């Protein structure tokens, strides 16, 4: 079985306050985009895990694909050993949620292949044990997210009439460090209200709170956003805790950039 876990962008991101459990309450709109990894599972005599494509930092045993398998294995001991192959096309530490998507898709794949009959709600509950972004990828539709990001309400938002350009400068941003440099504040206007307005109005209202601390530490990320607007973007923003920046352009517009050759640039038509 081969599935293709996609990533997401954040349309706005506010960090509202710190919770007693150490997490933060946020609000954002998650929007799925078509940059994808590839994930294959094959029944095997023993557990095997392989990764190809872009480099994945950290220990293999910490990968969310394996953690998803182990999480379900506890409750469904009949799950067989698998050979898991993950091909990475979504950069890590980039604010795109690629690792979260891989883990959530593994849950869905196991549920489907081995007929575990888990409901969407049950899959979301398992996904939250993997990480705050993971529940979104169970739904995988534009969603207004609150709490840690697990409280999801789908929103009527379709950007398919625009061209989206996603640029990653190969800079790994630590989510933990980004939170430490941020002072939570309650926004005057909800992101849910802002995204309901025309895209042309987003530039001055739809804000990612992490931009300032990340831009201060990594000026190259700010330069990408500035270049997006110089090239004619209707709206541009960093996604998540960085370092990826996306720009939204008119469908027929052909922007020209002068980014370094080592940057990842993806056009979402």
Catalytic residue, chosen from 8, 88, 108, 163, is: 8
Beta partners for 83?
Answer: 42, 48
Helix (H/G/I), strand (E/B), else coil: 157:
coil
Q: Are residues 268 and 35 in contact, defined by beta-carbon separation less than 8 angstroms? A: yes
Q: Is 133 a catalytic residue?
A: yes
Catalytic residue, chosen from 37, 102, 133, 209, is: 133
DSSP of 36-72? E-EEEEEE-SS-EEEEEES---S-GGG-HHHHHHHHH
d(CA 92, CA 54): 8
Q: Are residues 255 and 231 in contact, defined by beta-carbon separation less than 8 angstroms? A: yes
Q: Identify the DSSP state of 6.
A: E
Q: Are residues 209 and 182 in contact, defined by beta-carbon separation less than 8 angstroms? A: yes
d(CA 40, CA 195): 35
Half-sphere exposure of 27 (CA within 13 A, CB side): 17
Which residues are known to be catalytic?
Answer: 8, 133
């Amino acid at each position: 079985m081969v599935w293709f876990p996609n990533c997401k962008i954040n349309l706005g991101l506010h960090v509202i306050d710190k919770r007693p459990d150490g997490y933060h309450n946020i609000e954002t709109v998650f929007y799925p985009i078509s940059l994808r990894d590839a994930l294959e599972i094959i029944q095997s005599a023993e557990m095997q895990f392989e990764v190809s494509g872009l480099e994945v930092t950290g220990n293999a045993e910490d990968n969310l694909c394996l953690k998803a398998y182990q999480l379900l294995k506890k409750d469904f001991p009949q799950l067989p050993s698998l050979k898991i192959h993950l091909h990475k096309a979504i950069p890590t530490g980039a604010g795109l949620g690629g690792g979260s998507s891989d883990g959530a898709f593994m849950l869905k794949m196991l549920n489907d292949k081995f007929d575990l009959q888990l409901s969407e709600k049950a899959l979301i509950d398992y996904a939250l044990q993997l990480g705050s972004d993971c529940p979104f990828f169970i739904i995988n539709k534009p969603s207004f997210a609150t709490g840690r990001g697990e409280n999801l309400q789908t929103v009527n938002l379709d950007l398919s009439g625009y061209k989206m350009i996603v640029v990653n400068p190969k800079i790994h941003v630590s989510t933990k460090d980004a939170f430490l440099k941020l002072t939570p504040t309650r926004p005057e206007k909800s992101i849910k209200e802002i995204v309901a307005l025309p895209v042309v109005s987003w530039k001055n209202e739809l804000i990612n709170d992490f931009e300032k601390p990340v831009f201060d530490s990594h000026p190259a990320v700010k330069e990408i956003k500035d270049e997006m607007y110089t090239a004619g973007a209707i709206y541009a923003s960093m996604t998540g805790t960085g370092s990826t920046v996306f720009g939204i352009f008119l469908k027929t517009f052909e922007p020209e950039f002068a980014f370094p050759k080592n940057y990842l640039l993806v056009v979402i038509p």
